[in-house]
Amino acid sequence: MSYKSWRPLYQTKRQGSNNYQFYLAELNANLQERLTLENELHDALKRGEMLLHYQPKVSLISGRIIGVEALLRWQSPTYGSVSPAKFIPIAEESGLIVPIGEWVLSTACAQNRTWQKNGLPPLKMAVNLSARQFKQPNLVQMIAKILNETDLNANYLELELTESLIIDNVQQTITTLQQLHDMGIVLSLDDFGTGYSSLSYLKRFPIDILKIDQSFVRDLVFNSDDAAITEAIISLAHSLRLSVIAEGVETQEQLDYLQANGCNEIQGYYFSRPLAVADITLLLEADKKLSCNANMRTLACY
Ligand code: C2E
Ligand code: MG
Ligand code: MG
């Protein structure tokens, strides 16, 4: 901003001017923080600071763990544990999400294959895909290569996509999704209900699963609007022969509600937080069973 464009603001009322200076200082601090984070993030993968945690997904029909979602964690020596909500947007804007995302896919697929080789029941491994990754022209080949290298059957990989990601360039999106689907990969729509929720793409895109956003699940039991939206998503999914999972399930009451309304799967702190690989492996080995009746109340959660 040039000095010229600043001047009129300094001529404004004292109160306004103070506000503006405060705003500029805050903007500067945010920009500074962002730049430092981006610098640190640049070599985080090389320095081995990235790791994956895994959160179980549980079937409300069998009560068993049927899959896990891989969730990226960054242990920065400078900042400690950085939340994905903070660093994923920076990785996305800077393009660093492309190598990081490839590492996530490869690590998650290799981990799933290791569990299979160790005799655990086969699970779906869900990996989040960002918009920038989805737009990479070699996405399908990159995923095929990883499946091949890790020797994982495509049926055991699930990709979590968001509505905003798939709404852009519809024709190209359909082609890419169809290629992934034809390979046997499971496709789910994450944070469903928070984006455009355009119903026409549900018909046109080869989606298998709708994931009800946690913002609806949070107050499900107290808020009749959230309850109505949740019921509508479950019913919509089933009418379109899709499966439906609720994320962010934290209480028995939410679980009971979702089960009574025919939701297929749940994921959330009620059953387990995202766990480091050693802990999730113990959980899978213990093969804990989440029974689907009133006895659920007595079950240990993790
Ligand atoms: P998401 O894919 O919707 O993941 C769900 C988020 O909800 C995760 O946050 C998870 O830890 C949190 N969560 C799970 N159960 C509960 C619960 O019962 N209550 C509450 N309050 N939260 C719960 P996390 O791990 O911080 O990830 C945030 C977002 O970052 C993810 O949202 C996803 O959009 C993104 N993300 C995480 N890992 C990756 C990755 O490997 N690649 C990409 N592109 N994005 C990722
Ligand atoms: Mg997700
Ligand atoms: Mg989500």
Residue 295: the pLDDT is 43
Domain that holds residue 74: 43-286
State the distance from the centre of ligand 1 to the C-alpha of 218, rounded, in angstroms: 15
Q: What's the pLDDT score for residue 278? A: 97
The CATH number assigned to the domain holding 59 equals 3.20.20.450
pLDDT at position 17:
61
Q: Which two tokens stand for residue 274?
A: 């995202």
- Rounded-to-integer distance, Cα 184 and Cα 161, Å: 16
pLDDT of residue 1: 38
In a domain, 106, yes or no: yes
pLDDT at residue 29, rounded to an integer: 74
Q: At what angle do helices 84-94 and 97-117 cross, to 10 degrees?
A: 120
Is residue 190 within 6 Å of ligand 1 at its C-beta? yes
Q: Within a domain: residue 5?
A: no
pLDDT in tens, the chain (302 residues): 333 333 444 444 555 666 767 677 777 777 887 888 888 898 999 999 999 999 999 999 988 999 999 999 999 998 899 999 999 999 999 999 999 999 999 999 999 999 999 999 999 999 999 999 999 999 999 999 999 999 999 999 999 999 888 777 888 999 999 999 999 999 999 999 887 767 888 888 999 999 999 999 999 999 999 999 999 999 999 999 999 999 999 999 999 999 999 999 999 999 999 999 999 999 998 864 443 343 444 343 44
Query: So what's the pLDDT on residue 68?
Result: 98
- 247 in contact with ligand 1, CB cutoff 6 A: yes
Domain presence at residue 59: yes
Whether residue 142 is contained in a domain is answered as: yes
CA atoms of 281 and 284, how far apart (whole Å)? 5
Which ligand neighbours the alpha carbon of 88 most closely? Answer: 1
213 lines ligand 1 (CB under 6 A): no
**Does residue 227 form part of some domain?**
yes
* Predicted pLDDT of residue 193: 87
Measured by CA distance, the residue closest to atom 33 of ligand 1 is 128
Residue 9 lies in a domain: no
Q: How many structural domains are present in the chain?
A: 1
Distance CA 185, CA 34 (A): 35
Closest ligand 1 atom to residue 191 Cα is: 3
How far apart are the CA of 195 and the centre of ligand 2, in A? 14
Query: CA Rg, the chain, in Å?
Result: 22
Contact status, residue 194 vs residue 215, Cβ threshold 8 Å: yes
- Between vectors from CA 77 to CA 73 and to CA 83, what angle results, nearest 5°? 30
pLDDT of residue 4: 35
Residue 299 lies in a domain: no
Q: Which of 68, 69, 74 has its CA nearest to residue 44?
A: 74
The contacts of residue 276 (CB under 8 Å, 6+ apart) are 51, 53
Task: Please state the atom number of ligand 1 nearest to the C-alpha of residue 129.
Answer: 44
Instruction: Evaluate whether residue 38 is within a structural domain.
Output: no
pLDDT at 123: 96
